[in-house]
Amino acid sequence: MAFGVARQGGSSQLRSRGKFLRVSENLQWCASFANLAVMNDTPGLRERKKQATREALRLAALRLAVEKGWDQVRVEDIAAEAGVSPRTFNNYFASKDEAFLATAYDRGARMQAALAARPAEEPLWPAVIEAGVHGFAADAIDLRQARRIRPTPTLAAEQLKAIAVIEHGLAEGIAQRIGADVELDLYPRLVAAAVISATRVTIEHWLRTESDLPFPAVLREALERVAAGLPPPAERSP
């Protein structure tokens, strides 16, 4: 699977330094779909229908979080907003928090799939930058909506887990690209951590300053600065 997990029963777990992060198999399914999209393969009708339902639930969770406040949203509300039953919801997500965080997992899956699809002869950092930008190429609206959402303690904890899973998946992709071992070599994890941290800071800055620039362009500039070693900016005139 795209995030380097080991199956175990009805869920999956990500191993990292002897610890496990449990991740729903339904959240990981998006990785295979992302790979199909990046490789220009056409998924079958069943997969497209499944993706459409999952996308409706993801967007419903986001809309309701903005409209009602996340602590007031129930699984039943998300299902009704998406036009499906709560039972159908449970076929896709184990909780309302998973439905909300599907956006983040999708970005991570697109990022890793895009990295794997970059030309083998391309240097690492340009490939990583293109993959990082690709992860956000289609959802700037989601980012602006998310600014208005106040996470609950449970959602905040799940967000930390999502970041760890996405970062580990990116590190795996980097390790594969340079022929390293993600568990033994430090460099892939350092690069992944730098990219994910820079992305988080860039999101916060872009939202706080209410920039008119499209987020992918801002993210590209930020990642290029990281790749260059973060040289100090030119001094501003007084």
Give per-residue pLDDT as tens, 103-128: 888 899 899 999 999 999 999 999 99
**pLDDT band at residue 99, thresholds of 50, 70 and 90?**
very high
Quick one: average pLDDT of 152-179? 93
Query: Among candidates 146, 13, 154, which has minimal Cα distance to 96?
Result: 154
Q: Which residue has the tokens 């602006």?
A: 144
Query: Among candidates 188, 110, 179, 183, which has minimal Cα distance to 142?
Result: 110
pLDDT in tens, 4-41: 222 233 334 444 443 444 455 554 555 555 554 555 55
**pLDDT band at residue 45, thresholds of 50, 70 and 90?**
confident
Cα 114 → chain centroid: 12
Q: Please answer whether residues 158 and 16 qualify as being in contact, where contact means their C-beta atoms are separated by less than 8 angstroms.
A: no
Taking 90 as the threshold, does the pLDDT of residue 56 lie above it? yes
Give me the pLDDT at residue 42, please.
Answer: 65
Give me the pLDDT at residue 134, please.
Answer: 93
Give me the pLDDT at residue 238, please.
Answer: 54
Quick one: average pLDDT of 133-160? 81
Q: What is this structure's pTM?
A: 0.79
How far lies 47's CA from each of 51, 101, 203, 217, in Å? 6, 20, 31, 31
